[in-house]
Chains A and B, each alone.
Chain A
Amino acid sequence: MEQHLIYASASMVLFCLGLYGVIAQRNLLRKIMALNITGSGVFLLFVSIAQRDAVDFADPVPHAMVLTGIVIALSSTAFALALARSIHRETGRQTLRGEPSQEEEADSQREQSG
């Protein structure tokens, strides 16, 4: 198995893990982290293919795209965090309305069992 295949497989696992995290995690910060992990999976695939296409150097066009992508991922993370902090300031919740947070679920489970 060539080197690029090892990282390409890991990248697809990362992508699916991150996507599951976005869906299953209720806390907004954790959702944002999961989104970042998904993005990193995609970048890993890009750079693995660039390594496969190497001449004297690895294909620089995917590298440039991934550099751009990392910066843009940071921009959207920053904006998403600003919105999350706004939500927290307005409502006191770290989750979206209608979704119980982990702590609230734990409390209600204790109430029901106790």
Chain B
Amino acid sequence: MSAMEWALDGVLAAAITVVAWRALTVREHFQAIVLFITFGLLMALAWVRLSAPDVALAEAAIGAGLTGVLLLDALHYMGLFPGRRQTGETQVEKELSARWARLLAFLVLGGLGVVLLGVVFNLPREAGGLAGQVQGAMEKSGVEHPVTAVLLNFRAYDTWLELGVLLLALIGVLCARGETTLASGHSLSPKGQVLDWLVRWLTPVLVIVAGYLLWLGKTTSGGAFQAGVVLGAAGVLLWLSGEPVLERLPGILWRGLAALGFAAFLAVGLASVFTGRYFLEYPEGWAGALILWIECAAAVSIGCILAALFSAMHPPRQSQRSSGGQPKEGEE
């Protein structure tokens, strides 16, 4: 490895660590979230350096983008409606014990860190892993990109269950909300011309980019998750600009779309079982087509779930009136 590459990787790894440390230790919460988003983007660079462009796409969109949006939104709404400040029991003993506990945690975790670094440096240097086996099985996979093949063929079961976990998260957020509809009492609707114009242009572009990413998954980095996240981002952008699309759809439609990916996988798996194969074992020659159809369903599903996750964070109309806070209309 040349000196330049070593320097680049070293600086990037150091930057990632320092930004993470700052994100964890700054006092102001907004600053911490912005540092966290920066951390996500630096991680995306690290993924590129480690020959993982698929992961880089996903990290930039989900890890930095969507997580940052959710955190900022939470911080914003918690600030808008502070509620009653409860006088906690802040005795001196509690502070001291907290300081003791923190010192202990620091020492223990420092020791753990040293041990883990030792483990990392003692890992075997020769290559192991499954890259060779994947390479051998690529002709039967139905696609040309190894990561897509693993995600949607060799380890399709994991991907199916991952869509299930997304659904579970949505159900959980709806439960925490107290209502299963998406309508919320307030939405930010800054009537600015630039935002209006931008969203009007961006939304169709985002849909096309999502479709393109989906199609790319066969031959290079891309696929259902990246496409789904772009669609989800479009949904979030529409909500933020005052056009909450998912709210306006009939309930059965957005719920059906959310469940579509999981259901498509399940249907293909059951069809395999009923024709005498193992669950999710694609028939000869059909793998490519089936993967494409499943990816389409999954992308739409993921986009719907992510946009719904964001919408469902905001409290429904009734609880808005019963709580003490008064929303400031036209904020930001």
What is the CB-to-nearest-CB distance from A74 to chain B, in angstroms, rounded to a whole number?
A: 5
Residue of B nearest to A24 (CB): B102
A33 touches B23 (CB 8 A): yes
A85 touches B77 (CB 8 A): yes
- Given A47-B52, A59-B130, A67-B55, verify A33-B32 contact (CB < 8 Å): yes
A26 to B166, CA, bound (A): 27
B9 touches A100 (CB 8 A): no
A82 touches B110 (CB 8 A): no
A30 to B155, CA, bound (A): 34
Complex interface bits, A20-52 against B, C-beta within 8 A gives 1, otherwise 0: 110111010110111011001001110111111
Residue of A nearest to B127 (CB): A53
Residue of B nearest to A53 (CB): B129
A6 touches B92 (CB 8 A): no
- A residues 6-22 touching B (CB-CB < 8 Å): 6-21
* Cβ 8 A contact of A20, one of B24, B89, B94: B24
Residue of A nearest to B113 (CB): A16
B1 touches A21 (CB 8 A): no
A93 touches B24 (CB 8 A): no
A33 touches B71 (CB 8 A): yes
What is the CB-to-nearest-CB distance from B241 to chain A, in angstroms, rounded to a whole number?
A: 21
What is the CB-to-nearest-CB distance from A107 to chain B, in angstroms, rounded to a whole number?
A: 8
A13 to B58, CA, bound (A): 23
What is the CB-to-nearest-CB distance from A103 to chain B, in angstroms, rounded to a whole number?
A: 9
Total contacting residues, chain A, CB less than 8 A = 91
- Given A4-B50, A29-B29, A82-B173, verify A66-B55 contact (CB < 8 Å): yes
Chain A residues within 8 Å of B46, by CB: 7, 44
A18 touches B47 (CB 8 A): no
A51 to B131, CA, bound (A): 10
- Given A58-B50, A64-B158, verify A75-B17 contact (CB < 8 Å): no
On B, residues with C-beta under 8 Å from A are 1, 5-6, 9-10, 13-14, 16-17, 20-21, 23-24, 27, 29, 32-33, 36, 39-40, 43, 46-47, 49-52, 54-55, 58-59, 62-63, 66-67, 70-71, 74-75, 77-78, 81-90, 92, 94-95, 101-102, 105-106, 109-110, 112-113, 116-117, 119-121, 123, 125, 127-132, 134-135, 146-147, 149-151, 154-155, 158-159, 162, 165-166, 168-169, 172-173, 176-177, 225, 302, 306, 309, 312-313, 315, 319, 323
Top 9 closest pairs, chain A to chain B, by CB: A53-B129, A92-B83, A75-B169, A108-B90, A16-B113, A10-B13, A12-B116, A60-B146, A82-B176
10 A-B pairs within 8 Å (CB atoms) are namely A6-B10, A7-B9, A10-B13, A33-B36, A64-B151, A66-B52, A67-B55, A67-B147, A82-B177, A105-B95
On A, residues with C-beta under 8 Å from B are 1-21, 23-25, 27, 29-30, 32-34, 36-37, 40, 43-45, 47-68, 70-79, 81-86, 88-89, 91-94, 98-102, 104-105, 107-109, 112
